[in-house]
Amino acid sequence: MEQEQVMAAKKVWDSVKHYAVRCAKCSKWRLIPSKEKYEEIRAMIGERLFVCETAKEWRPDISCDDEADIKQDDSFCWAMDRPRIPQTPPGWQRILRIRAEGGTKFADVYYVAPSKKRFRSMVEISKYIDEHREYHGVSMSQFSFQAPVPLDENYVAKRQTRSATHDVTGTALTAAGV
């Protein structure tokens, strides 16, 4: 019991500094103004491709003729979210923690409930939802612990696993500070 309280009190900070999406028409990267907007775009990317005109919602004068907002270079560690990751339930947070290069995993994914309790697995979330009536409207299909894929072709994990072959057909991208 005491260990659970200690775990709940620990802070997990998102290591993502910028959220960007590549335009399906011009292939330029467009910065997304918030994590929430990024998640909304990412969740719909399979049904509705992102184009520069989509950004008119927060940048009325944007078009494919404008320069890219950000260029993919070595100033950030770039990671591509896998396709079809659902939008996080209202009040919950999906936290990405990019690990140091050369580790056994590229990133960790956590979810934080509105109560500030942190989860590291579907089993933990399922148990929590079952025990707390106020979350019974939340579906397990709204969660995904799939970590993003590093875009640096030189990135090598200490140990390659079967999941090392990635589907990177999604266009949503996360840029994390190094």
The larger pLDDT score, comparing residue 164 to residue 42, is at 42
Q: Which CATH number fits the domain that encloses residue 14?
A: 3.30.890.10
pLDDT at 8: 45
How much helix, strand and coil, in percent to the nearest 5, is found in the chain? Answer: 25, 20, 55
Q: Which residues contact 69 (CB under 8 A, 6 or more apart)?
A: 20, 28, 29, 30, 31
pTM greater than the 0.75 cutoff? no
Count of structural domains within the chain: 1
pLDDT, tens only, 21-54: 999 999 999 999 998 899 889 888 878 899 999 9
Alpha-carbon gap, residue 80 to 90, rounded angstroms: 23
Print the domain residue range for 9: 2-177
pLDDT digits (tens, 9 = 90+) for 93-128: 999 988 877 667 888 999 999 999 999 999 999 999
